[in-house]
Amino acid sequence: MIYLNGRLQSAAEGHVAIANRSFLLGDGLFETMLVRGGRPRFLAEHLARLLASARYFGYHMPTRPELEDAINCVITANSLQLGSLRLTVSPCTSQGLLAAPDSPLDILITVKHGLSYEEGLYERGFKAIIAHSTRRNEHSPLSRHKTTSFLDNVLAKKEAHAAGADEALLLNSKGDIAEGAVSNLFIVAQGEVRTPRIEDGALPGIMRGQVMALCHRLNIPFSEAKLAPADLFRADEAFLTNALLGIMPVARVGEQAFASGDKGSLCRRLEDLLGL
């Protein structure tokens, strides 16, 4: 069962308008949320990011309680205990390149049961590459919002798949690391946790924020920093974060191996403390 524009219905009968601007122009936003024990993890943070981006793009959104009710209705209707939800919003009327004034939104919530990561993956760790097919434009405001304009990420992920890797790291226009195709990057070097800066093209990820807050709370040395590929290759540990992965250790980037594929000590500690 899905939620579409105020109504629960089967996925087979759900349809969006042919003028939907996400379909036509990539004009939309989305959030992907982990559901564990029948409850969406970090729901407040996901909705805060979505609503802030909606204000930036001028979307006329439902209230936070209305969105929460819709999400809980989908979880209940699908008896979802472990899996994920995707909440997608997009204007559905258009006047050429511009949305029609006060355009209504298509609001869609879809569901997936279970998690798709293979057994033992966290023990093995991700293999990653540095993408050459595309780069992150750190000057674009789109880099700071989770939009449905996702083809750069698709190109990077296809490149990783062709190379037998799990994830691709995107450089920005200056050659510094911005983020992964579907993740944020962290490294551990000389006892300090570091992650690329928002101004370098990193999306302000939900799990990224959780790791940053935890480091602050525990007085773990931490910085948002400009990270060149050389900084990554000199690191003691590296790990990736997103809402579904949680914290995923990086075993290898290209020919550079980290911690023999095992979770580095700080990566493991952070994951345990976050209860992932």
29-48 pLDDT per residue, tens: 999 999 999 999 999 999 99
pTM confidence score: 0.94
Distance CA(22)–CA(256), nearest Å, equals: 39
Fold of 121-274: D-amino Acid Aminotransferase; Chain A, domain 2 (3.20.10)
**Residue indicated by tokens 């290898």:** 252
Report domain extents, the chain: 2-113, 121-274
Q: Using CA atoms, how far apart are residues 107 and 103, in angstroms rounded to an integer?
A: 12
Average pLDDT over residues 225-252: 95
Q: Is 212 exposed, middle or buried (0-12, 13-18, 19+ CB in 10 A)?
A: buried
Q: Which 3 state secondary structure label does DSSP give 224? A: strand
CB-based contacts of 115, cutoff 8 Å, min separation 6: 82, 83, 84, 244
Fold annotation for 2-113: D-amino Acid Aminotransferase; Chain A, domain 1 (3.30.470)
**Cα dihedral 66/72/75/81 (nearest 10):** 150
The CA angle 235-238-239, to the nearest 5 degrees, is: 165
Task: Reply yes or no on whether the pLDDT at 119 is more than 80.
Answer: no
73, pLDDT greater than 70: yes
Mean of all residue pLDDT scores within the chain:
93
**CA atoms of 67 and 255, how far apart (whole Å):** 45
Rounded mean pLDDT of 181-194? 95
Confidence of residue 164 (pLDDT cuts 50, 70, 90): very high
Scan for tokens 């006329």, then name that residue. Answer: 60
What are 260-273's pLDDT values in tens digits?
556 567 888 888 88
pLDDT at 276: 67
Q: How far apart are CA 126 and CA 60, in angstroms?
A: 39
Residue 128's identity, in one-letter code, is: A
